[in-house]
Structure 1
């Protein structure tokens, strides 16, 4: 298929010289005993078109200081505020704060305030689901959804309410250029499965200021599959989508060509074309191991059945050329003139063509060019920090990466120079099942980080601990 853009589009993005990625390997000590993390690749292009500025001098802000309260370890000079914890009452009176805090975005509010929209990745078995609210509930049998927080200019919580309910397994998503949040269901369950009364696997639009403007309407044209994250091209209106599938056949990388590319709240309901990426000669992205590897002439194939009425999309027949798959496609964001997406890991033992502990890919739509720009991996043991990157964002301290693996969990920073440093460490140890049952003591596990994002003025980093569900606001000398 051709790499056609929508028939109408905003003015073209400014010209940017092609990057020339060079291979580098940086090893950064995290402060955990024996733990190290390696990032291989060229980082400079990740900061294109952003205000992010890497710390000067040595990488990062110094070693992490243990938190006396046992919640969040940060470098000296930084402090946190707990904005919300699961089980507490919602300020709206609609019920309790749900659990499983996941993807999140921050939007500019009035008089210097901020609006946060936060996903809750709840399955049908969740003990603390999103409360159902009339006019904001899609399927009363589902327990996922979003909550919205309103903060004043000093970071105080003014309000907290349900933003959408009755959705399932809301993992990540992405902000739109017109100031709304796209929340993604990471499931393909149909009505009648797990007690659901409606089909799931959709994207929903959420207005952070007044959720009733958007309601609980699935954007069916964007496809029904195991959604993870989305990113919107602000120049062309194209929506890019990742699919988190860890079993074969693995997920696809999609783009949605909207019928209304000019955007605006509700515009994605108007329909459009859903396509999947085909890299000629590359059926599985995990086979590519060398950073800087570039593929020209990327193709996009129309999805035969976007609603997956009979067959999940990744199982569908894309013709003799096939389609390109990748294991665990997760984080996705737009930077400069390109879209970046993350493969959290690949394991040949599970059917992937190669092994890695995380990749970041860049797709340049103007040149139809795909490039592998970063490879993640622990320098020692896969059980130590440095595996499975998930949510990513850009901030004043560089690229921020949420770790989603085993053992100790960190938010890592990566500077423009490719240097890696620990920004935060989850200090909330989870009781293991064996220990709770009086069995043999085990090493503690820690909940993953998710939803890292920055305030519009870049002065505050917001991040979630998945479990126990906790939303933090981190302030400090970001521009030091």
Structure 2
């Protein structure tokens, strides 16, 4: 979608009702809450925020919880840059532990402060911070949860109440000044970070991690890879030795496997929603640590392995894992073009299904492009952080497939606008990331990536 059309949609509020995705949106929702999900046309038009931060529908309001550059309440330094993936984990007495990634590279303007006992590589600028909130979203504390990691993009919560933060890089020691290899997953306890420390979960693979989702019944961890060049990333599963061991159990190791769809070397070639494959295979990864060769380039035998461009969001919904391919571009090496897909894998049936296709090729008026972070709302709706050009939104999708704008960023980039391709006439806005809901479902938390800002959004949720 062009920035011009996106900006027109943003200025006019023309996120039309009745727009549908191509595909069976009802596949994304399950359970009693989903059956009662939002069935009308969203929450109405967005209202311009006089403070220039976040536009929301009438009746909704936001609170700024944290901003890049402000002092951390712990006194450990400043709030780091590049707010990304996030989870809201339950605490005692109704409190919430909000664990937030910082996708910092070596050139990050504000790194995650190095803290003794919580720092993996002193030269790593990424990591996580943790906010402690009371039941009214008042910030009681804010501290470093892990430091010395790199390019912490997304991740996912565990059934035992911790966060798995993922490094989206394959840089080795000696690259970009790093003193240790990167490309790992780390477990973070938002309530007590020293319980988990800064220990890489090496058996889960070293690659350009994006997100994870855990099957609570089996303990299997599903992982997406957002590789930046050909051949693109893989979809993995990790079979832990201690599948229900709780905090720290993933350090015991396990087996890493990659998904093979027979006859489908590239998922972008599949264009028709509802297409299913019933004989999905899982192939052992030859060298999970990628000592000599990146995993996606390793030898998986004469039948090869299945790749996909921009594998990002990942979540578990009752009996299936869903994962997102944000886009595919044949000019960059994909088999075909698309503006975003959602795939569903059912472990018991070994079945993979293309559920949803996003974007202009579906409907010229559809405002969906490049879905990134994605989550299910407690009321049964789907929330999508869009990562494209121009105006940036958090979109909701009803059970009936109608798209509506729930939030629009109002913080136009200034000094970074030129680098992002923006102009005074057609500015760029910081993307949204880390959308998640409080354990009681009353608050939606979401980040603006840059300038790094964490919001708590409340209102008349259905």
In structure 2, relative to structure 1, the CA distance for the partners of 1:229 and 1:297 (3 Å cut) is same
Q: In structure 2, the residue corresponding to 1:221 is in which secondary structure?
A: helix
Report the equivalent of 1:148: 130
Relative to the length of structure 1, the TM-score reads 0.90
Shift in Å, 1:135? 0.3
In 2, Cα distance between the equivalents of 1:476 and 1:110? 24
SS at match of 1:212: helix
Correspondence 1:449 to 2:449:
no
1:236 equivalent to 2:195? Answer no
Q: Which of 292, 304, 314 is residue 310 of structure 1 equivalent to?
A: 292
Match runs of 1:35-114 below 5 Å:
39-49=21-31, 51-52=33-34, 53-56=36-39, 58-114=40-96
- Is the partner of 2:132 in helix, strand or coil? strand
| Residue aligning to 2:3 | none
CA distance in 1, matches of 2:180, 2:174: 8
- Residues 21 and 362, structure 2, Cα contact 8 Å, conserved in 1: no
Which of the numbers 274, 289, 292 marks the counterpart of 2:256?
274
| Residue number in structure 2 paired with 1:367 | 349
Q: Deviations over 1:17-48 (max 9, x none)?
A: xxxxxxxxxxxx95544777762111112111
Alignment partner of 1:251 out of 233, 249, 252: 233
Q: Secondary structure at the match of 2:28?
A: helix
Deviation at 1:386, TM superposition (A): 2.1
CA distance 1:300–1:435, shift in 2 (3 Å): closer
**Which whole-Å CA distance do the structure 1 matches of 2:417 and 2:248 have between them?**
49
TM-score (norm 2): 0.94
Structure 1 unaligned residues grouped into runs of 5+? 1-28
Say whether the 8 Å CA contact 2:20–2:401 is kept in structure 1.
no
Report the alpha carbon displacement of residue 109 of structure 1 after superposing the two structures with TM: 1.4
Q: Would the aligned equivalents of 1:412 and 1:424 in 2 still touch at CA under 8 Å?
A: yes
Which residue number in structure 2 is paired with residue 470 of structure 1?
453
Name the CA distance, whole Å, in 1 between partners of 2:435 and 2:71: 23
Cα drift, residue 397 of structure 1: 6.0
How far apart, in 2, do the equivalents of 1:397 and 1:48 lie? 8
* CA displacement 1:164-209 (0-9 Å, x = unmatched): 0000000000000011100000000000000000000000000111
Contact 1:385/1:410 (8 A) holds in 2 = no
Q: Deviation string for 1:360-401 (max 9, x for gaps)?
A: 000000000000000110369999942100001111261000
Q: Tell me the distance in 2 between the aligned counterparts of 1:89 and 1:244.
A: 32
Using the alignment, how far apart are the partners of 1:143 and 1:384 within structure 2? Answer: 38
Matches within 5 A, 1:430-449: 430-431=413-414, 441-449=424-432
Match of 1:401 among 377, 384, 388: 384
Question: 1:55 offset after TM fit, Å?
Answer: 2.2
* 1:116-173 alpha-carbon deviations (Å, 9 max, x no partner): 0000000011110100000000000000000000001111000000000000000000
Whole-Å separation in 2 of the counterparts to 1:106 and 1:277: 29
- Tell me how far apart the structure 2 counterparts of residues 250 and 166 of structure 1 sit (CA, whole Å): 27
C-alpha contact 2:386 2:395 (8 A) present in aligned 1:
yes
1:51 positional shift = 2.8
Give 1:201's aligned residue: 183
Structure 1 pair 253–210 and aligned structure 2 pair: CA distance change class (3 A): same
Instruction: Note if 1:160 corresponds to 2:142.
Output: yes
1:133 equivalent among 103, 115, 130: 115
1:377 match: secondary structure: coil
Counterpart position of 1:211: 193
Q: Deviations over 1:291-326 (max 9, x none)?
A: 000001100000000000000000111000100000
Distance in 2, matches of 1:219 and 1:182, equals 10
Q: Distance in 1 between matches of 2:364 and 2:77?
A: 40
Kindly indicate whether residue 308 of structure 2 is the aligned counterpart of residue 326 of structure 1: yes
**1:42·1:292 contact (CA, 8 Å) conserved in 2?**
yes
Residue 404 of structure 2: which of 418, 421, 428 is its match?
421
Q: Deviations over 1:251-293 (max 9, x none)?
A: 0000001111123101100011000000000000000000000
Q: Secondary structure at the match of 1:179?
A: coil
